[in-house]
Amino acid sequence: MDNQDNKTNSEVQSHTLNRALHPALVLGLSMADASPIMASVLLSIGIFSVGGSFGIVSCAIITFVVMMISLNLAELGAKYPLAGGSYSVVRAVLPGPFASITFFNMAFQGVFIPASLTLGIGQLEKLIFPDLPIPEVAVAFIALMLAFFVASMNIKTGAWTTVILMLIQVIVLVIIIGSAFKNPNWSIIEMIKNPVVLGDGGSLIPVTGVVMMATMVPTFSVINGYDSVLGFSEEIKGGPRTLGKTVVLAAFMASVLISAPLIAALLSAPDLVTFFESESPVVYAVDEAWGHAFANVVSVGVIIAEFSCCTTLLMYFGRTWYTSGRDGMWSKGINKKLSKLNKHQVPGNGILFLVACTAVLMFVSSLEWLIIFSGTMICTVYLFVGVAGFVSRIKDKDVERPFSIPLWPVPSLIVVFFNGFALITQETQFLIGEIIMIALALLCFVVFRKKGNQL
């Protein structure tokens, strides 16, 4: 009996992550995931190309939606503080098939977004150092290996590394936001009252209602990453309520730090047509306001942002895979491998699996399509989070909650309706992709459940 008890205790210990992170470190990790520099410089192109100057209003609307999502994540995460993030809170409330769909929509992002980030590092390196005799894919692979090394280290070491890199990015944020003060060309009031977008003939035309609605989805994809706080639920100090408050604060900071440089760049652009046509509108605005040297500083900042974001994503989604193994989602052998912690007490096998898949995807030509498809998957995950936030209260009416959604059920309903609307208005190709994703998730759920491995 003693031996059996020792074995049980050993197994429990092997599944225990170290609660060693101060909430400020977790907040820093989530900001590295949100990556304001990368979001404003690279991902904002979709906002400006679709919605033009309506991007200002779109950012404000999406910030409101993001705060509603964060309230749902905060209540659910505080009640179920597990390392699987959105997957774990959905699994705790909704039937197994919904948890499986949520997991697959998260897991695939955790594979191909790091691939895109590391390839982006290689491409930017060639732009800044064109004479460097190293292929872009080689630079990308080196960056991936460095990110893997940091993500596999002791959690505090990995967290401090990404947070320091995030602090360096603040310098770049100041440069971008300062453009609006050094070189103001447009009034924010005028931009809001009379938004314009680039027309087919290369001229500026008024933004229509259809364009306004179309701008929401790319903006929603840009203001993201704050949910990674839940990935460190079992490692944050301070208890469940602290976890909930950190999620909400992360969502607010991500919204502000991503929206501010976007708006500043737009207001400082000398020529809106050139701004909207530019391959990197924010860099164009900085170049015009500060000069080419500062534009290069922004590009270097993007490289740092991509690396720190990639590292945080490996840490976050590695814990999601770890949790899926701990939950018994796969075969017994896979579950055992995924739920094993390395000598630093982090889910090394889960991170290694992500890195292996990412390395393969570096050579996939359709990666750009997958990145755009991530917006559809994000909407699907948050749709189920909103449903879980609603159902949880109905199922457990009298249960005390460390963090409660104010004005419930309004925030949950807003999340459900917004993400539901965003999904049904997606392009057909992305809806087909999501249907395939759902089918794959349900197939795996049925197959592994029949084997008796799913809890």
Q: What percent of the chain has pLDDT over 70?
A: 95
Range of the domain at 367: 20-450
CA distance 262 to 326: 41
Tell me the C-alpha distance between 30 and 226, whole Å.
5
Q: Which of 160-169, 250-259, 433-442 has the lowest mean pLDDT?
A: 160-169
The model's pLDDT over 235-274, given as tens digits with 9 standing for 90+, comes to: 999 989 999 999 999 999 999 999 999 999 999 999 999 9
Residue 71 lies inside a defined structural domain of this protein: yes
Residue 404 in domain: yes
Task: Calculate mean pLDDT across residues 51-67.
Answer: 95
Is the whole model's pTM more than 0.85, yes or no? yes
Domain-embedded: residue 7:
no
Instruction: Describe the crossing of helices 348-361 and 96-128 by its angle, rounded to 10 degrees.
Output: 60
Residue 138 domain flag: yes
Rounded Cα–Cα distance for residues 420 and 435 (Å): 14
Per-residue confidence band for 293, with pLDDT thresholds at 50, 70 and 90: confident
Domain-located, residue 330: yes
What's the residue count for the chain? Answer: 455
**What DSSP character marks residue 54?**
G
Query: Do 231 and 17 meet the contact criterion of CB atoms below 8 Å apart?
Result: no
Give the pLDDT confidence score for residue 292 in this predicted structure. 86
Q: What is the CATH number of the domain that holds 337?
A: 1.20.1740.10
174 HSE (CA, 13 A, CB side): 6
Q: Write the CB contacts of 218 (distance below 8 Å, at least 6 apart in sequence).
A: 43, 46, 47, 50, 51, 375
User: Which two tokens mark 287?
Assistant: 């170049």
How many domains does the chain fold into? 1
Position 2 in a domain: no
The token pair that represents 183 in the structure block: 């070189």
Is 8 within the bounds of a domain?
no
Q: Report pLDDT digits (tens) over 320-360.
A: 999 999 999 999 999 999 999 999 999 999 999 999 998 88
Q: What is the DSSP letter of 42?
A: I
User: What percentage of the chain exceeds 90 in pLDDT?
Assistant: 63
Residue 12 scores a pLDDT above 50: no
- Domain presence at residue 15: no
The CA distances from residue 139 to 144, 314, 315, in Å, are: 9, 18, 21
